[in-house]
Amino acid sequence: MATPAPAAIECRNLWQVFGPDAESQLSAAMEQAGGDPDVAAGNLKEKGYIPAVRDANFEVMPGELFVIMGLSGSGKSTLIRCISHLLGATSGEIRIEGEDIVSASKKRLIELRRKKLGMVFQHFGLFPHMSVADNVGFPLKVQGVSRKERRQRAMEVISLVGLEGREDAFPRELSGGQRQRVGIARSLAVNPDIWFLDEPFSALDPLIRRQLQDEFLNIQATLKKSIVFITHDITEALKLADRIAIMRDGKIVQIGTPAEIVLNPADDYVREFSRDVAKGQHACVDSVMRPLDQKPDNMPDDPGLRPGMTLDAALAACMQCYEPVPVHDENGVLTGIVHPADLVAALQVETK
Amino acid sequence: MSIAEPAPVTAPWVGRLTPGTRAALITLIAGAVTLLLAPYLPWITIWPDAWTLPATQWVDTGLGLVLNLIKPAARWFSWLMEFPMTWANFALVSTPWPLVIGVVTALGWYLGGASMAALGFLGLIFVLASGYWVESMNTLALVAVSVPLAVLTGGAIGILANEVPRVKSAVQAVLDIMQTVPTFAYLTPLLLLFGFGPVVGLIASAIYAAPPMARNVILGLERVEPEIKEAAMMSGGNRLQQLFLVEIPTARLQIMVGVNQCLMAALSMVIIAAVIGGFNDIGWEVLLTMRKAQFGQALLAGLVIVVFAVVIDRMSATLATDRRRFDARVTYGILGATVIVTALSLGFLPDPATLTLLDPVADSVDSSLGDFTAANGAALNTIKNGAMFYGLLPLRIGLDEAVLPFTWGFSWTPAMSAGLFAAAALIGAVMALRGNVVGGLVVLIGAGILETGVAQMPWPFVLIAVAALGWVASGWRLAVISVLLLSTILISGLWERALLSLYLSGAAVFACAVVGGAIGLLCAVSPLAWKIMRPISDMLQTIPLFVFLIPVLMFFQIGEFSAFLAICAYAIVPMIRYTRHGLVTTPDELIEAATSSGATEWQIMRDVRAPYAAPTILLGLNQTILYAFAMLVIAALIGTTGLGQSIYLALGQADVGLGVSSGAAMAILALVADRLVQGFAEERRKALGL
């Protein structure tokens, strides 16, 4: 990249291997494999080790919503626990706003968690013996913030997640959706820059899930956190993400925008995921647009396509068109052309 | 389909035997060989003195050195403990009794509402009326000091094990051993260390009560959901904040279970420790009246202990539930009323020691007991002799010695032995032909044991049999460990006594398994039966060990049969509970699948519920075995032979070597039995994929 703006999170050659003395085993395996991570992971597996995350490389930009998606056992939960340093990574580099946290001291780590990091858990991780307000205020309590101030800040975030009036309830008295709102409020109590969400909506039923997703997007639109969001649900990933990383067997197989994932899957595994997805809603006209040098001499129709239109909208506009049509940008400048046949082809649900 | 199976690689017939069959076969051969050789080689039956290492003396000398070394520290600690004990004693004994009763009632309300308040109030009124108020308060004072001690030590050990994973398994092994070493065995070394006096009872009960606390703390902290721990970490708490603000409060219910068990263990041990005497507490009162054969009074004192146990247990058990809050105004109201009543009646209060309201009851119990035994003495004796002659004695010394003209009316002849073995061989052969080879072999082995008697089993046979069992239950490791452990008993010269203990506890466990299993089955089928059995089981599990001795003594006097009954009464409960629990917790889907296949109720029980419950029932058996060993030592007070008796004698003679080695031998027997049964339970659970 041309501008070296420090990424919010940066992971380089990150490995998490489970088993006794994993560190030296990993470096031995890497040496033996001549630096090929796939071969090394295979060797480790044969010895009974579990390479839960292998050679992960990615960065999350400030304000970006980065989704990690994979099936259960693909290593996504392990990966987020490495980044938040709930697990010590076996090898590799993790930088948070440029600061290496693998080598950070215990004290510094606590400091970081108190100021910069927030995390939401799949099963909420609420403290059963504390009221909603005490749960939300807990991250402030451990910093020694006064009772009054804690309460005040807790009430702010509680109203942000729409739980006013329930602040003195106990977790056992709340519904699943309400519990996760508490979890979200708690993770936002210290106003962290970086927000980890580990399958936050997976334990909820579909209606509540959709509602919380929408509210989450609203909150993010105002707060602009740098987010790592874990999910096993491709629809959720496509709906929320700026970019998606897809994991399989501990390996990141593709990183890309929702449109890239849907239209250009890197392999069969990714394709399998996006098979049942309504692609027209996630990909835009620019993904099937051809350059101007392929412009035919005459374009009879102009249904008024824009580069940012979804394919569904474009197709609806082009129902009566059989010849290539022009695409104009916001200022009316011709930027490319689209073959209606390409639209149809892109939207074809794969039947393989 | 007639696809040819690959022909088996010329398997010799041995190769096709299951491990169980092979083990049974080896055991049978070992038994037969030792039985045949025994007349020619006396060392097979009786371990020669010449081979015995003076381990007991070594233990005595070694421990003596260590004990002398730490004696000054112990005496200092003993001196230190005098203070809280005196305070607690003073506070409880000299507080006017209405105040004590009022405070307990208020506490009952605070913890569990009206029912608990009533329980506390009525319980203490009973204690007051019995005339054992002062003795009870003395006992309570000991408990009041030993429990905080045990809770703190146990809690600290639990937290340590949680924080330092490397020591966890070691800590758990030590806790296992501490709970299998019989309670009396602690007392002898403690006596030497701390001198006579109530401090020994205090320390012993703290030692005995700390392990359950530690165990529950470990368990509770382990069971805190990982996400809750992670949430505490991600909130930026340091380790102490995570532990004390999140993990311990989250685990509080389990920790409170520990406090409840800790209280009960402390109470039980304080009462047992009364055998060393020198302190006017309620346990001593029971012992004294029992020795004087004043059973009415003994029963009364025993009931006082039971009342305490029930009140303490039920009240502290409310701590381990997510309890409702009860109106605090009532608590204050009760306290206020108590203070007013106490203040007004001060000066008029009768001295609780002079209260003998229940003495007439005790006397009438005594006289009616006298009448009853006079009227039914013959029947009681018939029961006792019948059980001894036809059950316990043959099991102990074998049919060949137990069958005498005096007992059975005729003498045992070699021809009868031959007949016994022939019958066993026939049954075994039939079972083997019907597919149950292991069962057939076990019948033969059983016949051999019945012929010789458990207490006279040749030691090579015992070792080989245990090795075989260990191997089948869980593999070579267990077999080797079991044999090594048992060998230490053998070479230290405690073997005969160990076999005697094994025989009595074995007989009790067998009886418990059969009767308890049957009751458990009944309770599983009939809700009514469970409704009746449940409070009885609860009560039997709450009563301190010591109290079981009173009723059996009343009817059957001192002797092995009384001890047997006392052990059974205590050890039968887990068998009932686990059997029922295992049978009723079969998943509904399995029952529905069986029902829709057209199985009858009885078929479901036999083919679905019972196999599914097997691991649970085995765990119940395991508990029953441990309970039986625990009671065996207490039962030494009313006449048993074997290790229990040695431990009790050692206490009287302050013989640390004998006391500790016998205690260790007892613990070894319990540990080996525990591991064997656990091994089988684990194997069953794996086979079921649980």
How many C-alpha atoms does B56 have within 13 Å on its Cβ side?
Answer: 20
* Residue B632 pLDDT greater than 80, yes or no: yes
What does the block give as tokens for B447? 């016949």
Structure confidence at residue B173 (pLDDT): 87
Pick the CATH number of A280-347 from 3.40.50.11290, 3.90.1720.10, 3.10.580.10, 3.40.50.720: 3.10.580.10
What is the percent of chain B where pLDDT is above 90? 31
Mean pLDDT lowest among B386-395, B525-534, B624-633: B386-395
Chain B positions touching A118 (Cβ under 8 A) are 234
Q: How confident is the model at residue A310 (pLDDT cuts 50, 70, 90)?
A: confident
State which H helix or E strand residue A251 sits in. strand A251-256
Chain A positions touching B230 (Cβ under 8 A) are 81, 86, 119, 121, 125
What does the block give as tokens for A212? 């919380």
Minimal Cβ distance to B252: which of A115, A121, A129: A129
Q: How confident is the model at residue B9 (pLDDT cuts 50, 70, 90)?
A: very low
More confident residue, B637 or A278: B637
Reported in sequence order, the residue ranges of B347-503 that DSSP labels E, i.e. its strands, are none
Structure confidence at residue B228 (pLDDT): 94
How far does chain A reach from its first CA to its final CA, in angstroms?
38
Report CB contact under 8 Å: A127, B231: yes
Closest residue of B to A117, CA-based?
B234
Interface check for B228 against chain A (CB to CB < 8 A): the answer is yes
Q: How confident is the model at residue A352 (pLDDT cuts 50, 70, 90)?
A: very low
Structure confidence at residue B6 (pLDDT): 46
Domain B492-687 has CATH 1.10.3720.10: yes
Chain B positions touching A196 (Cβ under 8 A) are 234
Structure confidence at residue B325 (pLDDT): 76
Structure confidence at residue B558 (pLDDT): 84
* Residue A319 pLDDT greater than 70, yes or no: yes
Q: How many helices and strands in chain B, by DSSP H and E?
A: 30, 0
At position B522, the amino acid (one-letter code) is L
DSSP H helical segments within B492-638, as ranges? 495-525, 527-542, 549-556, 560-584, 588-596, 601-604, 610-635
* Residue A139 pLDDT greater than 90, yes or no: yes
Asked if A54 contacts A15 with a C-beta cutoff of 8 angstroms, the reply is yes
CA B578/CA B582 separation, integer angstroms: 6
Asked if A176 contacts A203 with a C-beta cutoff of 8 angstroms, the reply is yes
Interface check for B12 against chain A (CB to CB < 8 A): the answer is no
Q: How confident is the model at residue A150 (pLDDT cuts 50, 70, 90)?
A: very high
Beta-carbon count within 10 A of B522 CB: 17
Interface check for B321 against chain A (CB to CB < 8 A): the answer is no
Structure confidence at residue B16 (pLDDT): 63
Minimal Cβ distance to B234: which of A113, A115, A124: A113
In angstroms, what CA-CA distances link B357 with B127, B139, B345, B362? 10, 21, 20, 10
Instruction: List pLDDT tens digits, range B181-240.
Output: 887 787 888 888 887 778 888 888 898 899 999 999 999 999 999 999 999 999 988 999
> Which residue out of B227, B230, B234 would a mutagenesis test of the A interface target, given it has the greatest number of A Cβ atoms within 10 Å?
B234
Report CB contact under 8 Å: B235, A125: no
Q: Domain coordinates of chain B in residue numbers? A: 96-366, 492-687
Q: Domain coordinates of chain A in residue numbers? A: 58-279, 280-347
Minimal Cβ distance to A123: which of B227, B232, B233: B227
Report CB contact under 8 Å: B249, A81: no
The ipTM (two decimal places) reads 0.81
Question: How many angstroms away from the CA of A99 is the closest CA of chain B?
Answer: 18
| CA-wise closest residue to B230 among A82, A59, A98 | A82
CA A300/CA A293 separation, integer angstroms: 17
Q: How confident is the model at residue B10 (pLDDT cuts 50, 70, 90)?
A: very low
Structure confidence at residue B15 (pLDDT): 52
Report CB contact under 8 Å: B230, A121: yes
Report CB contact under 8 Å: B228, A86: no
Structure confidence at residue A120 (pLDDT): 94
Give the pLDDT mean for B561-569: 92
Instruction: List pLDDT tens digits, range A328-349.
Output: 888 888 888 888 878 777 776 5
Beta-carbon count within 10 A of A201 CB: 25
Minimal Cβ distance to A139: which of B235, B238, B252: B235
What is the percent of chain A where pLDDT is above 90? 45
- The two beta strands, A91-96 and A325-328, are unpaired
Q: What is the CATH T-level fold of the domain B96-366, as seen in this structure?
A: MetI-like fold (1.10.3720)
Question: How many angstroms away from the CA of B175 is the closest CA of chain A?
Answer: 27
Report CB contact under 8 Å: A127, B241: no
Minimal Cβ distance to A129: which of B235, B236, B250: B250
Q: What is the CATH T-level fold of the domain A58-279, as seen in this structure?
A: Rossmann fold (3.40.50)
* Residue A297 pLDDT greater than 80, yes or no: no
Mean pLDDT lowest among A321-335, B106-120, B500-514: A321-335
Q: Tell me phi and psi for residue A168, to 5 degrees.
A: -100, 10
Question: B26 in helix, strand or coil?
Answer: helix
CA B92/CA B96 separation, integer angstroms: 8
Question: How many angstroms away from the CA of B273 is the closest CA of chain A?
Answer: 39
Asked if A335 contacts A328 with a C-beta cutoff of 8 angstroms, the reply is yes
* Residue A1 pLDDT greater than 70, yes or no: no
Chain B positions touching A121 (Cβ under 8 A) are 227, 230-231
* Residue A300 pLDDT greater than 80, yes or no: no
Question: How many angstroms away from the CA of B689 is the closest CA of chain A?
Answer: 22
What is the percent of chain B where pLDDT is above 70? 97
Report CB contact under 8 Å: B233, A81: no
State which H helix or E strand residue A59 sits in. strand A50-60
Give the pLDDT mean for B544-556: 86
Report CB contact under 8 Å: A142, B237: yes
Report CB contact under 8 Å: A142, B238: yes
Q: How confident is the model at residue B5 (pLDDT cuts 50, 70, 90)?
A: very low
At position A183, the amino acid (one-letter code) is G
Structure confidence at residue B4 (pLDDT): 43
What does the block give as tokens for A172? 């056992």
Interface check for B234 against chain A (CB to CB < 8 A): the answer is yes
Asked if B522 contacts B410 with a C-beta cutoff of 8 angstroms, the reply is no
Mean pLDDT taken over chain B: 86
Question: How many angstroms away from the CA of A116 is the closest CA of chain B?
Answer: 10
What does the block give as tokens for A134? 């005490």
Question: How many angstroms away from the CA of A316 is the closest CA of chain B?
Answer: 47
Interface check for B233 against chain A (CB to CB < 8 A): the answer is yes
Instruction: List pLDDT tens digits, range B470-500.
Output: 998 888 899 999 999 999 998 888 888 899 9
Give the pLDDT mean for A145-162: 93
Minimal Cβ distance to B228: which of A125, A142, A196: A125
Closest residue of B to A186, CA-based?
B235
Chain B positions touching A84 (Cβ under 8 A) are 234
| CA-wise closest residue to B459 among B49, B45, B48 | B45
State which H helix or E strand residue B101 sits in. helix B97-130
Chain B positions touching A113 (Cβ under 8 A) are 233-236
Q: How confident is the model at residue A281 (pLDDT cuts 50, 70, 90)?
A: confident
CA B589/CA B612 separation, integer angstroms: 13
CA B422/CA B428 separation, integer angstroms: 10
Give the pLDDT mean for B133-157: 93
Q: How confident is the model at residue A3 (pLDDT cuts 50, 70, 90)?
A: low
Mean pLDDT taken over chain A: 87
Question: A197 in helix, strand or coil?
Answer: strand
Give the pLDDT mean for A264-269: 86
Structure confidence at residue B8 (pLDDT): 44
- The two beta strands, A65-69 and A226-231, are parallel
Q: Tell me phi and psi for residue A144, to 5 degrees.
A: 85, 20
Asked if B23 contacts B472 with a C-beta cutoff of 8 angstroms, the reply is yes
Asked if B586 contacts B541 with a C-beta cutoff of 8 angstroms, the reply is no
CA B531/CA A94 separation, integer angstroms: 61
CA A151/CA B437 separation, integer angstroms: 73
